Chain A
């Protein structure tokens, strides 16, 4: 009897509810439409067009026959490995420095994030001028202080120029990842450390058994994200050395543009498609991780 009494008043709202469901479905579609349109026009069509242009088998042959391409692939792998690991080791250490509670350290932190806040063009061009082997400030100062007549060819020696690009890349992206690891460290409960020091744990043991286990997931997620974005770093290479000297220092992010500017679009497209087996698995894993939630 109570069921009968219950269903009667519920019947009316149900009709309302289905009207609302229709309203929701309609507005949902309308409001999602602008992004779907942007996505179709600016992502789906370009990618499909690119793949279609990439169907030319000969361009892959030409690509693999090009010594600059082979060199670029090796460069990219070295760049990724060195830049990402070095950056994260430094960021891990520095985040430990910045969580110290001192007013002056807060000021240091404010200055430390400058490379992240300032646009790349002026700062990378500043590096470029500073590292100029002839009249750049660095070599001029080496001469004045140490009497070194011919300072290192920071941008003209192939190996040094490559290292300079890695250096600039780390300079630019270090603050961001340090900030991320700082937020990670701040989330660790302080009484864990207190308990540990009461038990006589030294600094290393505290890091090994408290800090690292709490940071590990964030560290791995961040490293993977950083790998993908490092792979796409066009500016640190292109604006500093232009991929030179002698096109020896390109990475995959700059090589496509170089081919295109040499009126060799087919090779440009092919070089991008060849990079996809490297990029897409990482993207796939990251989409799965990120869509679960921020801390996954």
Chain B
């Protein structure tokens, strides 16, 4: 009896939590399969569920969606480039700071941490102005660079902490055998760091895929912007076809959500070593 009571109490927590969590996602899904009428009537479930919205999105048959696939590709390109460049920059830096104990490494680490902690929204305007003076505005390179700058600090921090956990004796043994720094990096460090590098690559990739503010500041041409900004264009009209927006939004949300769930264990493991940016 007491067991049932306990279970009941837990359910009393679980049900409101699930309703609260799932409501906007359910709403997103329902609108994406609603026709215009059901949507405007605010139905909990559409009268005639339809996949027509997705057809329109796939065929880019709406003014707001003319560049859908192009923008999806842009999002992909920017995210992958950010992930790879961040990995390159951060792995090198973490190795130099944690294993080679390079002079000034600690200072750089602290400066990077400060950059990580200052909210990106406050760096956006200065970065926008700087991009203007570099002549990079409206190029995807500017967004990739900005995202690398925003992703690297946390990446370096996590990789440095993981590096600190590797036993020192490994380096010493390799040095005894006459290994140079670069051999140490390639043969000892990289193989051991692979799991952390996967987490960091995904972190940077998702950060770039999800970014809205920087993308809409740095890029303006409809052919150059990633999908996040393409979806934001729907905000410019009051009577926008929200059902189409939700269908496109769902397609945009699925890849990162899948990645999150596939790598959930690793991501949560990364959490315990600090804090991922929420």
* Interface of B: prevailing SS: helix
**Residues of B close to A177: CB separation below 8 A:** 278
A140 to B268, CA, bound (A): 39
Residue among A49, A94, A254 with the highest chain B CB neighbour number at 10 A: A49
**Residues of B close to A234: CB separation below 8 A:** 121, 124, 212-213
- Which of A59-67, A110-118, A205-213 lies at the interface with chain B? A110-118
Is A24 touching B181 in the complex (CB atoms < 8 A)?
yes
A23 to B122, CA, bound (A): 40
Contact mask for chain A residues 203-236; partner B; CB cutoff 8 A; 1 contact, 0 none: 0000000000000000000100110110111110
A2 to B231, CA, bound (A): 78
Known contacts: A42-B145, A121-B249. The answer to whether A141 contacts B42 by CB under 8 A is: yes
Question: Which A-chain residue is minimally distant from B175 (CB atoms)?
Answer: A20
Is A31 touching B28 in the complex (CB atoms < 8 A)?
no
Tell me, rounded to whole Å, the shortest Cβ–Cβ distance linking A37 to chain B. Answer: 9
**Residues of B close to A222: CB separation below 8 A:** 275
**Residues of B close to A28: CB separation below 8 A:** 96, 100-103, 105, 181
Is A108 touching B100 in the complex (CB atoms < 8 A)?
no
**Residues of A close to B31: CB separation below 8 A:** 126, 129
A180 to B267, CA, bound (A): 12
Known contacts: A114-B21, A126-B28, A129-B242. The answer to whether A137 contacts B113 by CB under 8 A is: no
Q: Which of A31, A105, A179, A269 is in CB contact (< 8 Å) with B92? A: A31
Q: Is the CB of A72 closer than 8 A to any CB of chain B?
A: no
Interface residues of A in 107-140 (CB under 8 A from B): 108, 110-123, 125-127, 129-130, 135-140
**Residues of A close to B235: CB separation below 8 A:** 125, 239, 242
Is B44 touching A97 in the complex (CB atoms < 8 A)?
no
Is B212 touching A114 in the complex (CB atoms < 8 A)?
no
What are some 22 contacts across the A-B interface (CB < 8 A)? A20-B175, A27-B182, A28-B105, A32-B105, A38-B148, A115-B25, A121-B249, A121-B252, A122-B231, A126-B25, A137-B42, A231-B119, A232-B122, A238-B213, A239-B212, A256-B121, A256-B124, A257-B121, A257-B124, A269-B126, A290-B157, A290-B274
Chain A interfacial positions (CB closer than 8 Å to B): 16, 20, 23-29, 31-32, 34-36, 38-39, 41-43, 45-47, 49-50, 53, 94, 97, 100, 102, 104-105, 108, 110-123, 125-127, 129-130, 135-141, 171-173, 175-177, 179-180, 183, 222, 225-226, 228-229, 231-235, 238-239, 242, 252-254, 256-257, 260, 265, 268-269, 272, 275, 279, 282-284, 286-287, 290-291, 293-294
